Amino acid sequence: MGRRLGVIAGSGEFPYCVCEEAQNRGYSCVVAGIKGEAESALREKVSAFEWFDVHEIANVVAFFRKKDVGEAVFAGKIDQRVVYKSDELGKVLPMLLENGKERGPTALIQAAINIFSSQGINIQDPTKYIVTAFCTPGILTKTKPSQEEEKDILYGWEVARKLADLDIGQTVVIKKKAVVALEGIEGTDETIRRGGQLAGDGIIVVKISRTSQDPRVDLPAVGLHTVESLVQAGGRALVFEAEKIPFFQKEKAISLAEAHGVSIVVKK
């Protein structure tokens, strides 16, 4: 079976990209699919696959050890609402966070990383498997922001940075230099839709990483679904951080944005 990479798979294109590149590098991928998040089609593309509930950390560890996995990555979104609503996870949380007071998503994932490490499984930075998904600064669409939209982008950038560094969320929705919506545990897509419902057409969406972002922990991403949500909300621009936030299904997302007069801006 050769070298093996464990993948804790959430939703979206992220797990597919990681597995494809890892296999190109000679790895066999052993995937722990999170129920309700990972796509069943992923099973057909990897060497080994099993389903797990979000709270089954010990079972994922046992699965990886059985398959002789010594290194693993988190890839894909896991809905934080499921995490905090889970009765079973409520029993696991005190064990994970017994030495800390914080109960935020970063603290929870870091605690899980420590458990994997204690069992001989090194959680790695996944960015080396998705290099082509990162963008350099620039405007990716033919549609460009207006002068007023540029002002919203600059304002939103400052707000998003503060929000991200407080470990609350990494997405803000702006209109006419007013904060319309801040991301909480609902995630980016629902934040965008809520912003559209509150402020109507013309919103600007800014997504940014934390200043001290650990890419092993909750790596922020955008993609086709992000643009779909923005179009549905009547948005005018998507702005995200260059070389820090991966952009999945890029060509389809850009094509959709251009068809609806939406600009996509990559900012440093």
Q: Residue 51 sits in which domain range?
A: 4-129
Same domain? For 205 and 244 the reply is yes
Residue 107 three-state SS: helix
Same domain? For 97 and 182 the reply is no
pTM for this model (two decimals): 0.89
Same domain? For 107 and 162 the reply is no
> Which pLDDT score, from 0 to 100, does residue 79 have?
80
**CA dist 95 → 58, 62, 82 (Å):** 12, 17, 18
**Of 105, 129, 153, at which residue does a domain stop?**
129
Tell me the CATH number at 175.
Answer: 3.40.140.80
Residue with tokens 């597995």: 19
Same domain? For 111 and 157 the reply is no
Same domain? For 194 and 238 the reply is yes
Low-confidence ranges of the chain (pLDDT < 70): 1, 82-105
> Which pLDDT score, from 0 to 100, does residue 260 have?
98
Same domain? For 191 and 236 the reply is yes
Same domain? For 93 and 143 the reply is no
> Which pLDDT score, from 0 to 100, does residue 87 have?
56
> Which pLDDT score, from 0 to 100, does residue 103 have?
60
> Which pLDDT score, from 0 to 100, does residue 160 have?
96
**Of 101, 129, 157, at which residue does a domain stop?**
129
CA nearest to 46, candidates 17, 66, 11, 74:
17
Same domain? For 156 and 111 the reply is no
Tell me the CATH number at 111.
Answer: 3.40.50.20
H-helix segments, the chain: 14-24, 57-66, 80-85, 87-96, 105-118, 147-165, 188-199, 224-232, 250-259
Angle of CA points 100, 105, 109, to nearest 5°: 75
**Of 129, 158, 177, at which residue does a domain stop?**
129
Query: Into how many domains does the chain fold?
Result: 2
Same domain? For 46 and 73 the reply is yes
Same domain? For 117 and 177 the reply is no
For the chain, the straight-line distance linking the first and the last C-alpha, in angstroms and rounded, comes to: 41
> Which pLDDT score, from 0 to 100, does residue 159 have?
97
- Exposed e or buried b per residue across 10-23, where buried means at least 16 C-beta atoms within 10 angstroms of its C-beta: bbbbbbbbbbebbb
> Which pLDDT score, from 0 to 100, does residue 88 have?
53
Same domain? For 109 and 185 the reply is no
Same domain? For 18 and 81 the reply is yes
